[in-house]
Amino acid sequence: MYTSVASLYTPEAIAQFPTGQAVDVHFISPENRAKIRVAAYCRVSTDRDEQLGSLENQMDAFRYQVTLHEDWELVNIYIDEGISGTNTRRRVGFQQMIADCKAGKIDYIITKSISRFARNTMDCLNYVRELQTHGVELFFEKEGIDTAASYSEMLLTVMAAFAQEESRSISENVKWGIRKRFEAGREMRVPIYGYRHTDKELYIIVPEEAAVVKEIFTRYVQGETPSEIIKDMTARNVPPPAGDRWKPLQLARMLHNEKYTGDVVLQKHYIESHLTHKEVRNHGEVPLYHIYNAHPAIIDRRLFAQAGAIARMRQVKTGNSSYPYDTMLKCPYCGETLAHGSLYSVYFGGKKVHNGGWGCYGPNGCGRFLIIQNLLDAVMIAAYREKYGKEMERVDYYWLDDLVERIAFKDDQVTVRWRDGGEITMPLPIPHEHFRPDNAAKKYNAFLEKVRSGQTKVKGKFVMGL
C-alpha cells in the first residue's frame, strides 16, 4: 500500500522534513487509494495536572494530523494515564491497541516517541515485529522513524536502547532522592491508626485510638489470639483502622509497626528494577534507616519486642509453633536448644496432650531428652506460685520473658532461675514411667524409626526429628 511514511503525507507536509533525510516518495491519487486505518497511542507516566494537559495536547495533535490526510481514517486514540512505560503489561490502553491490531482493525500507528511506546528495548522491538506480521507499521514522530522503511530496525534498536537507558537513569535519580530523604530522617506522609497528621507535624496521638492500640498489644502479648481480639473488638463496635470491620491483616500490620514505639524504619521495601517495577522486601540489599524517638510513642519497645517474638513463635508455616518457651530450653545431655513438636497421641491425666513436647531433635540434637509440655507447664505454674504467691492459669511468654532468666533440667527435676535473684528446683510431676524425659525420648525415637522405615505414616508436614 505504501513504502514509507512520506507516501502518506501531502507535498506540503513533506516539505517540512529535515534537510538531508532520505525518504522514498511516491504519490497515489486519493480516488484510487483505500482508506488507511490509523491509530494513535498516547501515554503520560504520572497523573499530575501538567502531565494530563500534555496528554490532551498529544491527542489534539494526532487528531489534527489525521485531518491533513484524505486517505487516513482515525480508528481510535489509545491512552494510558499515570502508567510507567517500562512494563507494557500494566498498560490497558496499549494492550487493547495490540489486540485491535491482531484483529485486523488497524493498518498504521502513530506515536510521539519511542519512550512513549516502550522504554524496554526488547519489548519495543518485539512488539514492532509482532505488529508487522499483522501488516501494521508504526511511525515514531520525535525520532522520525517509520518501520516500513528498510533502515528502520537498526535506528529503532539504537533509539530504543537510548530510551531504556534514559529510563534507568531517571529511576536511579529518583531512588537517589528518596534515599537522601531517608538518610535525613524524612519519611512520606502515610495514615496510621492511633495518630493524625497536620501540615506541621506528622504524628499527633489520637487518645481514643491510642488506647485501642495499647489494648491490642497487651492482649496479644498476654496470650490472646488475633481472632479472639478481633471477635471482641467487633462485639464492642470498636471502629476499625479502615473499612467497616476489623480484619486479620489490619491486626498483623499493627503488631509489626515500629512507629507505635516512636521509631521509624525507612526503606523496608525497594524497587527491584526499573524494568519490572517490582517492589520487594529489603533484606539488606539496600540500606535500612532506623530513626529512634522520631515522634511520641504509644507503646514501649519491650511490649513491641514481645509481640514480635510471639508472632515469630506462632508462625507455623516453617514448622511447629515454639510458643511460649521459644529458645529457653536446653538439653541436659548435649546443651542443644530443644525443639517443639506435636508428637504422636499422648495422654496426660486421662486427657489427650494437645500442646506436644520439647525434645532434643533439632539439626544437631542428640535425641536423648523429651519433656511433655503439660508436665513442664505444671512445674512453671507451681514455681511462679511459690515465688510470687499468685496463681497463673497458663504459661505465657510475656511473664517468662520478664521474670525467668533460665530453665534447667537434671534428674527429672526442673530448676527455675529468676531474673530478680534466687532459684527454685522442683520435681517433674510424672504420672507414669513413660513420661520420664529419657523414656519419652526412647519411645519417640522408636516412633520416628517406624516413620522412616515406612511402617507408620504421619499426617503433619513438620514432625519433630524428621
Task: Please count the CA atoms within 13 angstroms of the CA of 340 that sit on its side-chain side.
Answer: 22
Nearest residue to 358 (alpha-carbon basis) of 329, 383, 381: 329
Predicted TM-score (pTM) of the model is 0.57
CA distances from 202 to 6, 198, 294 (A): 58, 6, 10
Residue 18 per-residue DSSP state:
P
What residues does 418 pair with on adjacent strands? 404
Nearest residue to 56 (alpha-carbon basis) of 44, 46, 68, 66: 44
**In sequence order, which residues have a C-beta less than 8 Å from that of residue 181 and are 6 or more positions away?**
187
Distance CA 302, CA 423 (A): 24
E-strand ranges in 134-185 read 137-140, 145-146
Q: What's residue 5's pLDDT?
A: 42
**In sequence order, which residues have a C-beta less than 8 Å from that of residue 107 and are 6 or more positions away?**
1, 36, 37, 38, 135, 136, 137
Judged on CB neighbours under 10 Å (0-12, 13-18, 19+), 131 is buried
Using the structure block, give the residue that is written with the C-alpha cell 516413620.
Answer: 451
Q: 176: part of which helix (H) or strand (E)? A: helix 152-183
Mean pLDDT rounded to a whole number for the chain = 79
Q: What's residue 88's pLDDT?
A: 60
Distance CA 393, CA 378 (A): 10
For residue 44, the one-letter residue type is: V
**In sequence order, which residues have a C-beta less than 8 Å from that of residue 301 and are 6 or more positions away?**
261, 263
- Per-residue pLDDT tens, the chain, 466 aa: give them: 333 343 444 455 545 555 544 445 444 455 555 789 999 999 887 554 445 557 888 888 899 889 998 899 999 999 988 665 445 667 889 999 999 999 999 999 999 887 788 766 667 778 888 898 999 998 988 888 888 775 556 555 655 555 556 555 545 554 455 455 545 545 556 788 999 888 777 788 999 999 999 999 999 999 899 999 999 999 999 999 988 899 999 999 999 998 899 888 776 655 555 444 566 776 666 667 777 888 889 999 999 999 999 998 887 655 567 889 999 999 999 999 999 887 655 565 566 665 688 999 988 999 999 998 989 999 999 999 999 999 999 999 999 999 999 999 998 999 999 999 899 999 998 888 888 999 989 988 988 898 889 888 877 656 777 7
Distance CA 215, CA 224 (A): 11
Distance CA 196, CA 215 (A): 19
Nearest residue to 80 (alpha-carbon basis) of 100, 106, 52, 105: 52
Judged on CB neighbours under 10 Å (0-12, 13-18, 19+), 177 is exposed
